[in-house]
Structure 1
Amino acid sequence: FAVYPDVLEKAGYWVGLTGKGWGPGDYKSTGWPHNPAGKEFQKRSLKPPYNGISPRDYAGNFEDFLAQRPKTAPFCFWLGTHEPHRGYELDSGVRAGKDPKEVVVPKYYPNSPVIRRDFLDYALEVEWVDHHLGLVLKKLEQTGELDNTLIVVTSDHGMPFPRVKGQIYEDAFHIPLAVRWGAQVKGGRVVDDFINFRDFAPTFCEVAGVRPAATMTGKSFLDVLKSPKSGIVDATRDTMLIGKERHDLGRPNDWGYPVRAIRTHEFLYVRNYEPDRWPAGNPETGYRNVDPSPTKDFLLRQFDEYYRMSFGKRPPEELYHVKSDPDCIKNLADDISYAKVKRELYERMTTMLKEQGDPRALGNAEFFETIKYTGPRGHAYDTWLKNVQP
């Protein structure tokens, strides 16, 4: 598959990355000379203010990237911060002066001081990302290139907390997206159109004036960016498909937890294809699809409704009215008054998945079980099995 940094590089762009690029996976075995996100600029480091923060100097490495750029070359740079990935320095947020009382705790968690303080540690690392982004913007301003540079800030998933990262609920896949292009895009707008990750590559290609690769199946949203409107700009961007097969190890045979979902402006419909499996990983292997954290430890202390929402097994179908229930607490799938809505969403989702060639929707679900995990197996189910038996 072609990736947009490679397409742009071939078109004459100076391409690079710092921090976390494409991963996890083995790109070298498939012939890539460097990370698919670009050549790495990782030489600069600094002393981080807290233990959980990476010593990588992202903004400094961006300066090195610009310094080595050929004079007339346009550029494309991937700044992939390790923050706010786990782990965090415990109570670093409180030590930085943040107030646990100001935390808005989602309804799927109990109102606990432990969880509030964990959120503050998370917020501190998000602010570290903001700090480096500010330095990057300042550098671009100094070089006179700020207003002619398209800047996209987003994330690959929601916060690394139970029931969020790696799961299929609103906070897991409805992620931040901020775009700045001073010379071309009117700022100060909030747009409600749905944008998918796969839409980025064709957008960048259109901005650069190059043809997207045939395997880039998304749709450019340059028209949305250049529109002066707020709210709904392109009324056709009203539906989003979400899917997952395997996100982490910890189940027998490296099984995943296959899910497909469809999100409209009003509803989220979720189809869990293997409801007998544990969505967060098996209990005996430590629910490995949830990062270790104070919040995880707290929720595992007792088997109550909060434990169930984060770690318990789930029904085959889930339906949430996200406008009134953004935390996805009340499952309406068995409510007869929503039967028509559920059926229509399921049919629409299935049609769209088939049109996109999804093997599971086309009856070839076993294909996904043939894909082998190439990373470390320290917390795999078979590793656990070897070490619990005499």
Structure 2
Amino acid sequence: MPNSRPNVLWISTHDINPHLGCYTGVWPGAGQATTPNLDALAADGIRFDRAFAAAPVCGPSRSAIVTGCFPPAIGTMHMRTRATPPADVRLLPQYFRAAGYWTGNSAFTDFQLDVPDPVYDALGDHAHWRLREDPDQPFFMAFHGLITHESQLYLTDEEFARRTPDATRVEQVDVPPYHPDTEVFRTAWKRYLELVSQMDHWVGTILRQLDEDGLADNTIVVFWSDHGLGMPRGKRWASELGLREPLIVRWPGRVARGSVYDDPVALLDLAPTMLSMCGLDAPGHLHGDVLLGPDGVPRKRRDDYVVSARDRMGEQEDTSRTIRDRRFRYTRHLHPDRSPMGHCEYPDHLATWAEMRRLHAQEAHQQLAFGQPPSVLTELQRSIVAASKPAEELFDVEADPHEEHNLIGRPEYDDVRERLSDALDAWLAKVGDLGQLPERELLATWHPRPHCTEPVIETADGLVTITCPTDGAIVGWTTDPPSADSRRWRLYTKPFTPAEPIWVKGWRIGFGASADVPIPTSTR
């Protein structure tokens, strides 16, 4: 008999803001993009107009999405780390697999965390819901596309054309005021919009496969991006451009077609929301809120704001905390003496970063060689490459969408600043902020990494019960011997009777896996 629980299909991309046609009038410049498939998805579901990432870079942001936890609270906030989170932290697909779902991921597990083997049924480029042995088994499938990643903006003309065969070409672009209107930035913006168009085509192919398989009516489809676009002041910045995201959910017959949710939401709300929509309990330790229930009806969040964080990016050490309500963004920079665009090896080789530094050097030459006031960049553009930044920023984003006018110091906004500053402090006190701890001290609490204790096996009446003494551990089992080239691990959830020899193992995120424990013949 078919399972009545809905399937869940995640389609995500990299490095974009809500530059989709359906966000025209909501996000500046959205109308420049050609996105018929995502526009249709929004028309058939709900569009979230104020959705924000937990961090303006992929790893920390995705850790929040897949765990439902705020990165500085669980140690995943520094870009490029392997955290040992608290024992109760799990990955969302584990909850689904434990509930009987088939789980798949198309290779991308950049979560700042080790992924235990029993979390996914299929992991890799081959992963697809069509791999399920039982077509009636519900699935949680995540497709992650790299089409819009910042690296794709800077390909050669020939390679860019080869990778965007289905994109709608853009003849002219409106370069926003925070970027200089030079050939480098015009080209980057043109390519960005064309990559969004190509990505939309990719989304369409996945949705058509869902239709072909007759699964669309019982599948929750979610589209999101991890953070803002990969140019200066976007990705890696604790800014509106770095954190504002598209978020669309479709669930035929449950979520009202063409509906809009315009209160602030966090991408870390996705984990508890998916569990709730599928009739599963969301664990109490999650920091996100349920946005849609099992009836598909929108729910109001507990808070009227969303908190995000910016921490170390590669070798670029900086710390910012920011909070956004419906109208205002308040940001606190813990190191105001550091440049907003300090050296970072990878992006400093990208054309837009190099262009900002070139223009900044021209201004320095104006002053040093000729004693002239700088005039190559505007004040807004200059703030990106300045030697320092304000300790606090406050922007009325609804009236000032490009965050051009810092309202800190204006008496008429003192009450707004105090309200949001207090709310930010309260949130960080509630969930915790390991970003305040020197990273070496944090790493010292994780290393040397321990190993899980070997699982304990008990048998009674032919049933095998398996436990792992390590707090927070999960147990997997397989019929593949240790000598096998690859092993398929299943998640242990309840006692069962093995039909053939099996091996079991324990995992905890941040720990080494335990040794294999075979089920002795005498216990079968």
In the alignment, which residue of structure 2 is the partner of 1:274? Answer: 335
Contact 1:21 1:78 in 2 (8 A): no
Residues 205-354 of structure 1: matches in 2 within 5 Å?
205-223=275-293, 226-227=296-297, 234=300, 238-246=304-312, 248-251=313-316, 256-282=317-343, 287-288=344-345, 290=347, 292-303=349-360, 304=377, 305=379, 308-312=382-386, 313-354=388-429
Structure ranking higher in strand proportion? 2
Q: Deviations over 1:87-107 (max 9, x none)?
A: 222454799663342x22222
Contact 1:320 1:328 in 2 (8 A): yes
Alpha-carbon offset, residue 77 of structure 1: 0.5
Identity, % of aligned positions: 27
In the alignment, which residue of structure 2 is the partner of 1:11? Answer: 99
- TM-score, scaled to structure 2: 0.58
Alpha-carbon offset, residue 343 of structure 1: 1.8
1:42 matched to 2:125? The reply is yes
In the alignment, which residue of structure 2 is the partner of 1:77? Answer: 141
Alpha-carbon offset, residue 369 of structure 1: 4.8
Aligned residues: 332
**Distance (whole Å) between structure 2 residues aligned to residue 240 and residue 267 of structure 1:** 11
Aligned with 1:370: secondary structure? helix
Alpha-carbon offset, residue 153 of structure 1: 0.3
Code of the residue aligned with 2:170 in structure 1: it is D
**Distance (whole Å) between structure 1 residues aligned to residue 199 and residue 340 of structure 2:** 30
Q: Deviations over 1:220-254 (max 9, x none)?
A: 111498348xxxx73855311111222x2234xxx
**Distance (whole Å) between structure 1 residues aligned to residue 391 and residue 224 of structure 2:** 31
Contact 1:275 1:316 in 2 (8 A): yes
1:162 matched to 2:232? The reply is yes
Contact 2:339 2:385 in 1 (8 A): yes
Q: 1:350 to 1:213 in 2, by over 3 A?
A: same
Contact 1:318 1:333 in 2 (8 A): yes
Runs of 5+ consecutive residues of structure 2 not aligned to the other structure: 1-88, 361-376, 447-524
**Distance (whole Å) between structure 2 residues aligned to residue 116 and residue 237 of structure 1:** 39
Aligned with 2:245: secondary structure? coil
Code of the residue aligned with 1:33 in structure 2: it is D
Aligned with 1:78: secondary structure? strand
Aligned with 2:280: secondary structure? coil
Contact 1:5 1:38 in 2 (8 A): no
Code of the residue aligned with 1:335 in structure 2: it is R
Aligned with 1:72: secondary structure? coil
Instruction: Choose the corresponding residue for 2:117, options 26, 29, 33.
Output: 33
Alpha-carbon offset, residue 310 of structure 1: 2.3
Q: Alpha carbon RMSD of aligned pairs, Å?
A: 2.8
Code of the residue aligned with 1:320 in structure 2: it is F
**Distance (whole Å) between structure 2 residues aligned to residue 249 and residue 370 of structure 1:** 18
Bigger Rg, which one: 2
**Distance (whole Å) between structure 2 residues aligned to residue 26 and residue 301 of structure 1:** 37
Alpha-carbon offset, residue 201 of structure 1: 1.0
- TM-score, scaled to structure 1: 0.77
Residues 180-195 of structure 1: matches in 2 within 5 Å?
180-195=250-265
**Distance (whole Å) between structure 2 residues aligned to residue 170 and residue 37 of structure 1:** 34
Code of the residue aligned with 1:314 in structure 2: it is K
In the alignment, which residue of structure 2 is the partner of 1:200? Answer: 270
Aligned with 2:202: secondary structure? helix
Contact 1:158 1:172 in 2 (8 A): yes
Alpha-carbon offset, residue 117 of structure 1: 1.5
Contact 2:278 2:294 in 1 (8 A): no
